[in-house]
Structure 1
Amino acid sequence: MSTIRCLRTYRLPDRPSLIWLEIETDDGLVGLGETFRGAVSVDACLHGELAPWLIGRDARHMEGISRHLLTPYVGYNSSGVEVRAASAVDIALWDLAGQRQGVPIYQALGGGARPSVPVYNTCAGYSFNTGGQRRDIQAGDESAGPYDDQVAFMRDAGALARSLLDEGYKAMKIWPFDIYAPASNGQLIGLADLDKGLEPFRQIREAVGNKIEVMCELHSLFGGHSALRICQALEEFNVFWVEDPLCKMDDPAGLADLRRRTRVPICGSETLGGLRPFRDLLAQDALDVVMLDLAWCGGFTEGRKIAALAQAYNRPLAPHDCTGPVTLMAGLHMALHAPTAIYQEVVRATLATWYRDILTELPVIERGMALPPTKAGLGARLKEDFKQQPGIIVRESR
């Protein structure tokens, strides 16, 4: 037996979107999980709803626990609070599974499909939305440091591309159109704003040609007409994908229609929870690239089924991270294991700064490739000084 005896959560006032979870078992092991957004609500769900059922359960039964926690009642759809809480639990249970077997999670899942994983840099700077508010770059914003890549792509995307290439990155993701969505709730983009949004892509191609792949993120901010206009305008820059182009990414008909009318590949979606939305999108030929976030979709138990769907439909897979370090470690394990995985997302600014303050280990990146974690389970623990810092909010259920 490996009986669950304690759930412990950690939250930081200055990062109100993030919550970390430790699950202790009676064999002396501690599994680590994480999720993002609505951390106070997730905390309440974990301790008020899930802990009374989980404590005393056998931690080895990840499939049965997942099926119970993702039960299809009100609230248990897409990436709601209940699904995010269940995702944190599942990641921690798979961490425990790897530790019990003495192997990294990707090996516990069935082994690696590749010796290392290409990464791309999401140009989010040091804090895109972990402080509780979304960051959009305006005229008066200044760079917070050498890796404030969100400012960089809005000021001189060509210089940013050269910087990334110098560090070995071969792909980057930017979102210069986001600032034009609020004026019309994403329903209209005029030619002047369209042209300004295209300027970073021009700068990149003028500076480095085709030496770097470029992804465009639209953050589910646009309606069908404006998304189509942006996608068609991006065709000349040979973007690798356009991510989350529509305001509702659980719309197979709308996405399939968009995909038929543009030559840019469509990627989605980090925002979806559970297996069924991905099944519906793939069945209607609505996606070129499958993106999932293990801290939002249900963890490894649900994520490996989504990866199997991507394989069945011959679609590449790309795990998401622009949130927290545990999610990044989990995504890397999935990218190592999943047969059609092509990229792991990283943010070089957070890798170089506050991610290091939280975990004992982070992915090792060499020449644009993430190397496999070598330690059992996730391969990382919460640092003791992180857990004991002033102001941290710790809660236990036993």
Structure 2
Amino acid sequence: MLTVDTERPTTTAGRISRVETLMLGTAWRDFGYVRIHTDAGLHGVGEITHPYRGSETCALAEAMAHRHLIGADPFDIEELWLRLYQGDFLRGGDIGGVVLSGVDQALHDIMGKALGVPAYRLTGGACRAAVPVYANGWYTGEREPGAFAAKAVETVAKGYAALKFDPFGAGLGELSRAELRRSVEIVAAVRDAVGPDVELFVEGHARFAMPTAARLVAELAPFDLGWFEEPLPWTHIERYAELRARASMPISGGEHFHNRYEYKQLFATNAVDIIQPDLSMAGGFTELRKLAALADMHAMLVAPHNSNSPLCTTASVHAALGITNLKILETFDSLLEDYVFDAVTGTLPIVDGRIGLPERPGLGVELVDEVFAEHPPTQRFWNMFAPGWERRERT
């Protein structure tokens, strides 16, 4: 099962002949990509962005390609997924999870091109005409209620009907009384500025101890939140259900998990109301469909995490179109420099807070090497537990 079988009949896609990686530097983060070629002249792309371990992720992708992919039929998606996961003895982990996810995207891209159909036709088809998205990253600047409110109004004016933000500054474990008051005032100011019809999601970044998280679900109750995201660290996953019982708003989370095995305790304890798997971290199309089905078994919704590039946004739309229990998709696309869209062409546009049906075969996205050469990785870092991180001044 875990070795390349060159005797099997080969599809029109041919066999995998080469795997390469690319990285693009931006002011947000370094974006990583994998491009897989076949001996039939096809190629597919996937996103392997890791927030801070980009070079390590690219190195592992190239090493795993030689161990498990070269000579394989890209249509053997389940076997290749198992080969990469079990054959390398990863059994989880962030770098391996990102590589596996990006490779899975690229294989679906190849299959779609070989068949002449958009990738979403291979992952359940479409059960909706468009995918709703929410904006994140819009609140870059000073951590003051007025500043957040003004930027929220600007973002809604671009057509977004849902916003996510972290009002908590550098808080970790506990918040002082003054910091808790300022955080709540920021949420109140945003709600007042955008009105009752815009959905608001508050990000906790898995940072609070139980007493503070419990206080916050009470303090934030008046603002009619769409969810409170990751209020507790996942080292305390067993307490999520207890917090859910106290909360009037839904609790969401799961972006840190890389496959169904890491999600197992989340489902077993009914930790959240909404799961947030990331297509570029949680195992690609192959695994995301399984996670959505498991969530459906637990009466949970799916709101894919996506703090990545427009490639992952577009790939996530392909995946989201066939998820029956989808809520909404995250995007940072409006935060990015124009050259990102020159480097990653064919990505789907956001129109009035929604992304429509893809039309091109595969993912419909191509990487332009010349633009990558002009914008090499920056290896910048910003620490969201340092004061002023929301200004996103990288070091």
Deviations 1:130-153 (A, max 9, x none): xxxxxxxxxxxxxxxxxxx32277
Partner AA of 1:80 in structure 2: D
Distance 1:204 1:389, change over 3 A: closer
For residue 22 of structure 1, what is the amino acid of its counterpart? R
The residue that corresponds to 2:225 in the other structure is 239
**Deviation by residue 1:239-287 (Cα, 9 ceiling, x = unmatched):** 1111122222x65412111111222211111111101233431232211
Question: Residue 292 of structure 1 aligns to a residue in which SS?
Answer: coil
Partner deviation per Cα, 1:176-197 (whole Å, 9 max, x = no partner): 1142x2xxxx222122111101
Q: Which residue in 2 is equivalent to 1:315? A: 300
Letter in 1 for 2:84: L
From 359, 363, 368, the equivalent of 2:353 is: 368
**Match in the other structure for 2:96:** 82
Q: Is the 8 A contact 1:270 1:293 kept in 2?
A: yes
**Are residues 190 and 372 of structure 1, via their aligned partners in 2, closer, same or farther at CA, if it must alter by over 3 Å?**
same
Q: CA deviation at 1:14?
A: 5.7
Partners of 1:390 and 1:296 lie apart in 2 by 24
Q: How many residues align?
A: 362
Matches within 5 A, 1:312-391: 312-350=297-335, 353-389=338-374, 391=376
> Which residue does the alignment assign to 1:133?
none
**Distance in 1 separating the partners of 2:375 and 2:300:** 46
- How does the TM-score come out when normalised to structure 2? 0.85
* Partner of residue 157, structure 2: 166
Instruction: Determine the C-alpha separation between the residues in 2 that align with 1:384 and 1:285.
Output: 45
Name the amino acid aligned to 2:20: R
Name stretches of at least 5 consecutive residues in structure 1 with no aligned partner: 126-148, 394-398
Q: Is the CA contact 2:48–2:58 (under 8 Å) kept in the aligned structure 1?
A: no
Distance in 2 (CA, whole Å) between partners of 1:348 and 1:5 is: 32
Shift of 1:70: 1.6
Kindly indicate whether the alpha-carbon contact (under 8 Å) linking 2:208 and 2:233 is maintained by their aligned counterparts in 1.
yes
| SS of residue matched to 1:366 | coil
Which of 205, 209, 216 is the aligned partner of 2:202? 216
Matches within 5 A, 1:300-311: 300-311=285-296
- In the alignment, which residue of structure 2 is the partner of 1:116? 130
1:268 aligns to what? 253
Following TM superposition, by how much is the alpha carbon of 1:384 offset from its aligned partner in structure 2, in angstroms? 4.3
Which residue in 1 is equivalent to 2:4? none
Shift in alpha-carbon separation, 1:325–1:116, aligned structure 2, 3 A: same
Measured at CA, do residues 355 and 320 of structure 1 come closer, stay the same or move farther in structure 2, by a change above 3 Å? farther
SS of residue paired to 1:156: helix
Q: Is the 8 A contact 1:117 1:371 kept in 2?
A: yes
Per the TM alignment, residue 164 of structure 1 is displaced from its structure 2 partner at its CA by 2.4
2:209 and 2:49 map into 1 onto residues whose CA distance is 26
Gap change, CA 1:164 and 1:73, over 3 Å in 2: same
Which of the residues 16, 25, 28 maps onto 2:41?
28
Residue from 47, 58, 81 that aligns with 2:73? 58
Structure 1: distance between partners of 2:149 and 2:255:
27
* Whole-Å separation in 1 of the counterparts to 2:332 and 2:133: 10
Q: How far apart are the structure 2 equivalents of 1:95 and 1:327?
A: 12
Contact 2:168–2:180 under 8 Å retained in 1? yes
Q: Which residue of 1 aligns with 2:56?
A: 41
CA RMSD in angstroms comes to 2.2
Change (3 A) 1:72 1:239: farther
The verdict on how the C-alpha distance between 1:342 and 1:153 changes in structure 2, with shifts beyond 3 A counting, is farther
How has the CA–CA distance of structure 1 residues 31 and 284 changed in structure 2, closer, same or farther, with 3 Å as cutoff? same
String of CA shifts for 1:76-113, please: whole Å, max 9, x gaps. Answer: 32x42112111111111111111112111111112111
Q: What amino acid is the match of 1:66? A: W
Within-5 A mapping of 1:132-147: none
CA distance in 1, matches of 2:222, 2:375: 52
- Structure 2 vs 1, CA of residues 348 and 203 (structure 1 numbering), >3 Å: closer, same or farther? farther
CA distance in 2, matches of 1:168, 1:202: 21
Which residue is equivalent to 2:7?
none
CA contact (8 A) 1:35 1:327 kept: no
Distance 1:390 1:106, change over 3 A: closer
Rate the CA distance shift 1:355–1:391 in 2: closer, same or farther, 3 A. Answer: closer
Q: Distance in 2 between matches of 1:375 and 1:50?
A: 27
Spell out, residue by residue over 1:336-362, the C-alpha distance to the aligned partner (whole angstroms, 9 max, x if none): 111111211112433563431321122
Preserved CA contact (<8 Å) 1:216 1:239: yes
Q: Once the two structures are superposed, what CA deviation does each residue of 1:362-395 show, in whole Å capped at 9, x if it has no partner?
A: 22222221112211111111124324537579xx
